[in-house]
Amino acid sequence: MKPVLVIRTSDKEYGEKLANNFNRSADSIFQTYVFSETEAFEEFAKTNIINVLLCDEDISIIEGEDLRADLMINLTEASFVREDDVADGCIHTIIKFQPYDDIIKEVKSLYRDFLTPDRPKEKAEMLIKKLRVVCSPIGGAYSSTFALALASYYSQTGPTIFLTFDPFFVLPNKEKDIREGTLSDLWLYLSQGSGVSYPNVRMAEHIRFCASRYGNLELLNSVSYWYDICDIDEVIMHNILDSICNTGVFQNAVFDLGFFGKPSIQALEAADIIYVPTVDTPLNQKKIAEFKRQLSYSNNGIFMEKIRELNLPVDEGLKGEYDYSKLLEGKLGRYIAAQDL
């Protein structure tokens, strides 16, 4: 008799799709059930032994004491789960919005570890060294220019990628023979491959095909059409982050966020530092205060400790069109170097 796996989620459609993928898996080892209603789940639990319970994180928090299973696994809407966040003996956590095949692999691995606790475990690790997100609620704060300059600065020490989600940002000094790929091309590639784990080499090659290259810096332009931003869902955002952070190709990444849709939360979660450029005026101070207030209500306020406000110098040489090769030669470049960002 197969071990029983129960998916406990408030999203019935998601749960049924995930269960179907478990059941269609070529080496399926579970008998899978889905419950979106508390009463139905409780009735099932009265008469059945649950070997693995895959449960929405918010449901686990509310109903934790009433949930029983040999192995408990939380589904989180966060983008990354670091190994240090899960101590021995605690409930395991995996990412909800990732390809179904990857969820199945993780659940099977955790169940094998549960059955054979002495088996050596593989340690997951983000291969990227720095992941910075730049965003600001203030217009005219030169957020995109700063993000590009920061990425250019990082590229002096190792392979770096700059990615902008601002659909109206134009990269400077664009040469005619440089590739014209955009975030839309990467988004299309990843959406066509939903549920497929790509080899790192293949993914790295595709990122480079979509990007423009300046020395050690890969510059990935924003979407081809502004409404493509609306089509970037949690799964695509996870795949973008995973493809950049875990291919082993880039040492540093700078995201010019430029929008605050739901998927942007994943970028903020993945970042080690969130830079918020500002212009010091009474009105802007109120905007920053409101920005922080709203972020404090997201993900238990974990973003607050990552925020670094920056009053950037006005670099006259970077107003209007400018030569990319001169980006770090003025006040902004000297500021970045002096602050050791």
Looking at residue 73, which CATH number applies to its domain? Answer: 3.40.50.10850
- pLDDT on residue 248: 72
Looking at the 3D structure of the chain, how many domains does it have?
A: 2
Shared-domain flag, residues 293 and 162: yes
Close Cβ partners of 218 (under 8 Å, ≥ 6 residues apart): 159, 160, 161, 162, 207, 208, 211, 212, 250
What is the overall mean pLDDT for the chain? 78
- Which of 3-17, 98-112, 183-197 comes out lowest in average pLDDT? 183-197
The residue among 84, 115, 146 that closes a domain is 115
pLDDT given at position 276: 92
Q: What is the pLDDT of residue 201?
A: 44
Query: Which residues, 6 or more positions from 237, have their beta carbon under 8 angstroms from its beta carbon?
Result: 79, 97, 263, 264, 266, 267
- Domain assignment of residue 196, given as a range: 130-339
Looking at 85, 115, 145, which one is the last position of a domain?
Answer: 115
pLDDT score recorded for residue 26: 58
At 97-139, the pLDDT tens digits run 888 888 888 888 888 777 765 544 443 445 788 899 999 888 8
CATH number of 228's domain: 3.40.50.300
Q: Is residue 120 part of a domain?
A: no
Mean pLDDT, residues 257-262: 75
| pLDDT higher at 77 or 163 | 163
Position with higher pLDDT, 266 vs 317: 266
Domain end (from 115, 147, 166):
115
Position 65 scores a pLDDT of 57
3-17, 186-200, 247-261: which has the highest mean pLDDT? 3-17
Per the CB < 8 A criterion, the answer to whether 134 and 275 are in contact is yes
pLDDT at 209: 72
